[in-house]
Structure 1
Amino acid sequence: MRKIFLMLTSLIAVLGCSSNDESSNIVDTPENLIGSWKIMGYYTTFDIDAQPPTDNFHLIDNINEITFNTNNTFSQIVGSVNHHGTYNVSYDNVLTLNYTRNFPTEPNYSEFVEISLLNETTLETKVNSNEFCGTDAVVGYKYNKIN
């Protein structure tokens, strides 16, 4: 009887502490993410699956930098265009970028990427994309910290 009581008490405690609120999945910003990052290159699953396999990493030499601030805002330079917005990170390492568009005719939008690696010098993200040949592919991006 005592075991049943303890199991019921544990179940009630777990159910009482759980929440369906989506915001409870948000974590504090990882300290390593704060700062400015320059994109170095990308790869796709098509590069990995090619016969024979390719080097699968493509260097990007145009300007593409993103800065994550401590107040959960970001700014991004892509070529000559500046973007900005807010961001958050979830427990499953999904980085959500909520873009505020520069022009009134452009709608705001969100982008979701998985953080696959984050340390003091390197940020790698993955995103599923159907932009390549109309099929699902994984695109991975590698960034180096610049400050």
Structure 2
Amino acid sequence: MKKIILLLTTLLTIISCSINNDNKATNSLQDELVGSWKFVGFYNYFDIDQADNPHIEYYNNGNILHFNSNNTFEEVGEINYNGTYTITADSVLTRFYNASEQNNSFTNEVKIVKLNDSIFDFTCTKEDNIGLCPCDANRHIKIN
């Protein structure tokens, strides 16, 4: 009986530590994401893995994304959007857009490729999206 109790205690401890690590990773990503980010350009999915600077096609008047610590966001541009977002431990950012007069509710899921205090890059989440229409990565820079 003592062995069973010891085994269950050990198993619960391992599971609890794993859950805490996932929460820490998610919270760390969210802390980095909170703020305002301006879309400045994109580059091809295949260029993401390059260690040196990939070729980026720059834009001057890109949308601005505002991420708040309460898991809400706004996207300001030609059409303004707002909604809520989640981030998973495997760096998947999901935005849930609210319905408005211009659009219906929809969801957008992307994979965060790079996120630090100045750069936010993301691409599609589909690993098999290659071939004739590969994913582009979007580059955003922090503006505050």
Where does residue 62 of structure 2 map in the other structure? Answer: 63
Where does residue 41 of structure 1 map in the other structure? Answer: 41
Question: 1:47 and 1:15 mapped to 2: Cα distance?
Answer: 38
Cα RMSD for the two superposed structures: 3.4
Which aligned pairs between 1:84-123 and structure 2 lie closer than 5 A? 84-103=82-101, 106-123=103-120
Question: 1:42 and 1:101 mapped to 2: Cα distance?
Answer: 27
Indicate if the aligned counterparts of 1:128 and 1:139 stay in contact, CA closer than 8 A. no
Where does residue 71 of structure 2 map in the other structure? Answer: 72
Question: 2:66 and 2:3 mapped to 1: Cα distance?
Answer: 53
Question: 1:8 and 1:67 mapped to 2: Cα distance?
Answer: 45
Percent sequence identity is 32
Question: 2:79 and 2:74 mapped to 1: Cα distance?
Answer: 11
The change in CA–CA distance for 1:88 and 1:47 in structure 2 (over 3 A counts) is: closer
Which structure carries more strand by proportion?
1
Question: 1:56 and 1:16 mapped to 2: Cα distance?
Answer: 43
Where does residue 51 of structure 2 map in the other structure? Answer: none
Question: Taking structure 2 as the reference length, what is the TM-score of the superposition?
Answer: 0.70
Aligned residues: 130
The change in CA–CA distance for 1:112 and 1:146 in structure 2 (over 3 A counts) is: same
Alignment partner of 1:125 is 2:131: no
How far off its partner does 1:128 sit?
4.7
The change in CA–CA distance for 1:16 and 1:90 in structure 2 (over 3 A counts) is: closer
The change in CA–CA distance for 1:128 and 1:43 in structure 2 (over 3 A counts) is: farther
Indicate if the aligned counterparts of 1:100 and 1:109 stay in contact, CA closer than 8 A. yes
Secondary structure at the aligned position of 1:31 is classed as: helix
How far off its partner does 1:7 sit?
5.4
Structure 2: unaligned runs, 5 residues or longer: 17-22, 49-53
Where does residue 81 of structure 1 map in the other structure? Answer: 79
Question: Taking structure 1 as the reference length, what is the TM-score of the superposition?
Answer: 0.69
The change in CA–CA distance for 1:16 and 1:74 in structure 2 (over 3 A counts) is: closer
Matched letter for residue 41 of structure 1: G
Secondary structure at the aligned position of 2:32 is classed as: helix
Secondary structure at the aligned position of 1:71 is classed as: coil
Indicate if the aligned counterparts of 2:30 and 2:69 stay in contact, CA closer than 8 A. no
Which structure carries more helix by proportion?
2
The change in CA–CA distance for 1:36 and 1:8 in structure 2 (over 3 A counts) is: closer
Q: Is the deviation greater in 95-104 or in 113-122?
A: 95-104
